[in-house]
Structure 1
Amino acid sequence: MSDTSLTIDNILAPELTLCRVPASSKKRVLETIAEHIHHQDEILSDTQIFSNLVSRERLGSTGIGQGIAIPHCRLEGLDRVIGVLMTLAERIDFDAIDNQPVDLVFALIVPKEATSEHLELLSQLAEKFNDNAFCERLRQCEDADALYQRMTTVST
């Protein structure tokens, strides 16, 4: 995979955009991410994805502050980057760097060898999520369709 023009629009599918997900804990959020990816592509093991996400969280929380988390991991045998966007029904503790509970989650699952793509996407996400007004618009979405549109449409 040497596509340097990898963007959030390319990796996020409407089916992996989830609005107001009930989740009681960080563990539950990571399980939900893994289950939805497996549901989309049954070749991918939800157990393996969950385990890799948890291992990454052990290195340090992916809660980047201001109610936002970007859990991510590498996955053996994956041939593309997968994104999952979720808003949570209620804010949950995610051990974020600012100790604020999280309600906006974008998970990134990347092929084991995709290093530069991985970093580029993380930087694109951080940039988008740095915009408070943009994050508020995501939080106000009532359904997954609206959420997907807001995330993938460049705001003017």
Structure 2
Amino acid sequence: MSESSLTIDKILAPELTLCRVPASSKKRVLEFIAERIHYQDETLNDTDIFNNLVARERLGSTGIGEGIAIPHCRLEGLDRVIGVMMTLEQPVDFDAIDNQPVDLVFALIVPKEATSEHLELLSQLAERFNDSAFCERLRQCEDPSGLFRKMADTHH
């Protein structure tokens, strides 16, 4: 694992890239993430994922400002990193640091014994989302495949 560093395109699957998700609250966004991951891999328990995401939010919101959130957590028994990319139909209150509602969400679920590699992924994500033109392109996506291509394109 260590010889190739993890990048966003390696952890994101088209099935976990979702456009204009109708979520009315932060809780619903986190539930939706957990449900989608379980739907894609039934060995992973959606209640566990949801509870871990919520527990992480209690430590401090993962809303990083400018309408973006990167919810993340560790999961017992997971052997890979899972990414979920969503744009929301309507921005929701996420207790973000700038109090702006969130409409771009990238969730990261990592193995229990998470390493520095996973922190590296978080900083890669934060760096990409720091580019407001890039975020605007994501928000304009009409379909999941377009969103996936934009997110997985390492050259933006």
Instruction: Report the TM-score when normalising by structure 1.
Output: 0.97
Between the aligned partners of 1:87 and 1:115, the Cα distance in structure 2 is 28
Deviation of the 1:4 alpha carbon: 4.4
- How far, CA to CA, are the matches of 1:108 and 1:131 in structure 2? 19
Match of 1:39 in 2: 39
CA contact (8 A) 1:57 1:71 kept: yes
Shift of 1:154: 3.1
- Kindly indicate whether residue 80 of structure 2 is the aligned counterpart of residue 60 of structure 1: no
Kindly report which structure 2 residues correspond to 1:69-148, keeping only aligned pairs within 5 A, or say none.
69-148=69-148
Conserved? CA contact 1:4–1:117, under 8 Å:
no
Aligned to 1:53, the other structure's residue is in SS state: helix
Q: Equivalent pairs: percent with the same residue?
A: 81
Mark the runs of 5 or more structure 2 residues left unpaired by the alignment: none
SS at match of 2:107: strand
Counterpart in 2 of 1:10?
Answer: 10
Q: Is the 8 A contact 2:91 2:103 kept in 1?
A: yes
Task: Using structure 2 for the length normalisation, give the TM-score.
Answer: 0.97
Inter-CA distance 5–23: structure 2 relative to 1 (3 Å threshold): same
Task: Give how far 1:88 is off.
Answer: 0.0
Cα deviation for residue 117 of structure 1 reads: 1.6
1: distance between equivalents of 2:95 and 2:118? 22
Is residue 89–residue 103 contact of structure 1 (8 Å, CA) maintained in 2?
Answer: yes
Count of matched residue positions in the alignment of Structure 1 and Structure 2:
156
- Segments of 5+ residues of structure 1 without an aligned counterpart are none
- What is the deviation of 1:155? 4.0
Counterpart AA for 2:61:
S
Query: Which portions of structure 1, spanning 4 or more consecutive aligned residues, are displaced by more than 2 angstroms?
Result: 1-4
